A and B are shown apart, each in its own frame.
Chain A
Amino acid sequence: MTELLFGGAGILLFAMGLWSFLVHEPLLRKLIAFNVMGSGVFHILVAISERGALRPDPVPHALVLTGIVVAVSATALALALDRRLDDEDPDG
C-alpha cells in the first residue's frame, strides 16, 4: 500500500499546514503554511494517480507539474507583496 503511505503523508502535510495557517499571525508564516498545504495536495494527487497494477494516470501528474511552477511564482508574488507591506509600515 505505497499509495496509502504516500497519500497519508500528503494528508498529514495538508492538516499540519492548515493548522499552522490558522494559528500563526505573521504573513510569512501563513505563506509557508500555505505552501506546505499545497505540497500535501500534490502528494495526494500523485499518489491517487497510481491504482494497483494499472498504468499511472498521466493527467494528475501533468496537473501537479504545472501546479508546482504556478505555486512557486504565486509565492514569489506574495513575498514581494509582503516585503512591500513591511516597507510601507515597518511596525505592522
Chain B
Amino acid sequence: MSTSPTRTRPRTVPAHVVSNPRLGTWISVSDGRVDVHVGKVELGQGILTALHQIAADALGLPLDLVGIRTARTEGPDQGLTAGSLSVSQSTPALRYVGAAVRQLAEEAPVVEEVALRASRNHQDYVERIATLDPETNLTGFEVVNGPGPTLAVGVDVPRLDLPDKVLGRPRFLTDLRPDGLLFGRVLRPPSPAATLASVADGWTSSGVELVRDGSFLGLVGEREDDVDRGLVALASATVWDEHDSLPDEADLPAYLRSAPSEPTEVVDESPAEPTHTASYSKPYLAHASIAPSCAMARWSEDGSTVHVWSHSQGIHALRSAIAAALSLDPAVVSIEHVENAGCYGHNPADDAAFDAVLLARTVPGRPVLLRWTRPDELTWGPLSPAMTATVSARLVEGRIDGWSYDVWSQGHTSRPGYAGQPGLLATAHREGGAPLPPAADPPAAAGFGSLRNAAPAYDVGPRRIVGHRVTEAPLRTSAMRALGAFLNVFAIESFMDELAADAGLDPVDLRLAHLADPRGRAVIELAARRSGWGDPLPDSTGRGLGFARYKGTGAWCAVVAEVEVESEVRVQRLTVAADLGLVINPDGARNQLSGGAVQATSWTTTERVRFDRRTVTSRDWESYPILRFPAAPRVDVHLVDNDQPPLGSGEAAQGPTAAAIANAVHAALGVRVRDLPLTSESIVSAIETATEEE
C-alpha cells in the first residue's frame, strides 16, 4: 500500500466541515468503535462502503474499529446524494475530520486504566476519542496533520450491505415492521390534469380508514391486504374530472421547439456559417426503480412532532419541504434515511415521505408505512425530460472551425425546495393546492441541467451554445442520472462521427486531433486499444465510440460499443475506460461504471415513456420495458490508475454509451439514427428519411 507524504501542512477547511463544524456531528464512540456520521446515503452505489474506507484511513484505524452511520437530520448536512459528488465532496471532509481527531486525541489525556492495557494501542486511541468534547468547533483551530497511510483506500473492500440483501434479511425501508405498524396507500388521480369530482357517499372498505384532503385520497389500515383491497375498491368509487393536457408523443421535438421556453446562453463567440447540421432527440424516460417508493412516518401522541423514515436523496431539504408544506417549524420534523431500491435520481421517494406524513397525522403515535403502486411509480414519479438538440459545425479539410449548439428540454430538477416550493406531489392534490411549478435547471456551478455537457471537450473554434428550458410542464420532470448530459453527449458524439465520416477520418483520429486534454486523450486511446478498435468484425456488426468528461469537471470516460443489428439492435460488448482520479474501491467503481453503461444501453435501445393526450400509458413493465438478462451486453471496465483527487463514477458512462451504440449502429448499417431509442422502428424510419433525402 502506498503511503502518502506525512509532512504536516495547514489545510483549508473543506466546505462540508465549514457547514457542519461541530465534532460531535461527525464522530461518536460506542462499544469501542468510532462511529463516523455522514450525510450521504446508500442508493445501491456502495457509497457507505467507500466512505467507510476513507474514514478509517483518515482516523488511522482499521475498518473493524470504525462504523459508518448514514444520514439523519441530526447528523451532518452534506446536501444531496447526487451528481456523482459523494466521493469528491466527502473525501476532503472526512480526511480533515480524521486529521483533527488524530490531533485532538493525541493531546487528550490518556485515561490511566486504559493506558495500562497491554498492546491495545487502537483501543487506547478510541478511548481517547471518546473523551473529546463533541462541541469542539473543527474550524476553530488549525489542523496540521497530513493524511495518514492509505490502508483501506484503493482496496476492493466488500460491500457492507450485500449479505443482508442476498440472504433476504430485513434491510430495506419497506421491510420495517415496528410495533403498532399501520399500512398506507394513496389513490392518485387517473391523469395529470384530473381533479376529484366525488367519492361515493358513505364509502367504506373493510379494515381501512379513508383520509381525504381535496383531491388527495389515502387509506390507512392494520393489514396490508386490507389497504390493497381498499385501494381497488376506492378507485371504482371515485369520479374524476379529466381533460387532455399532454403533447403529441409522436413528435416531441416539434413540441419542445415550439413550447414557451427560457433561453440560457452559455457562450456566443460568433461561429462562422456551418457546413454541417444535424438534430437529435430523446424521449421521456422513467427512473423505473425496481421497488415502488415508500416511506414511514410517526407523529408523537400529542401531534407536536413527526419522525420520518425515507429513502430520499436529500433528507435535510425534505425536512424543510415537509415543514413548509404543513407550516411547521422544521425542528419538529426529524428524518432518518433507510435504504430502499436504487432510485437513479429524483424518483418519488420525497413524495412518498410527505404522503406518509399526511396519513400518519390521522393516527398520532402509530407508525404508518406508506407504499406507492407500480403504476403510480411509473406515471406519477418525476420523469427524465424529453430533449432535442441541433448541432452545427464548420468543417474545413478535416478541421472543425466553428460550432453551434441549441438544446430544448423541460427542466432537470424539481427536488424539494426547487422554485421556492416544497415540490411534494401531494401539495398539488390537497385542498387549495396548486399545480407543481415546471422543473428548474441546476446552475452552471452545479454543472447545469439541460445544458449539462452541452459544451464539447474538443477544440472546435468559435462556439455558440444555448439552452432553451421549456417553461411549461405537461409531464412532471426531474433529475435522472447524468441529467442533460445523456442527450447532449449522445448528440455531440454522434455528430463528431458524422463529421469524421464526411472528412474521411477515423472517428478516434478526428477526436484526438481536436482534444488537447491529456486525461481525455488517454481514456479514448485506452478504450480504443482494449476494444480492438479497427479489428475486422462480422457482417451486420459495427463498433462505435463515445467520450465525455462528465459535467466538464468530473470523471473522464470513453466507451466503445460493439453492436449487431439484425431485426433489432443487439449490444454485444461495451469497453469502458475511465479516469476517476484516486479510486477508493476499484471493484465498486467497476460495478458503478458497468451498471451505468448497461442502464444507458437500456435507455438507448429500449426505453420510452408512452402517453396519449390525456395520461401516461407506460404503467407497468410490459408497457415500459427495460433491458432483460438475455440482452445485457458484456462490459469490460478499465480504470486509469492515478492519485489525482477522487471523482464519482455513477454518471460518467451514460452519455458516452448512448453515442457509442448509435455510432456502432451506423458502422454496422451505414444508417444514422438520431432519435432515441434505437429500436427497429426508429432504424426503419431513419432509413426511410435517408432514402427520401437522396
Q: Do A and B bind each other?
A: no
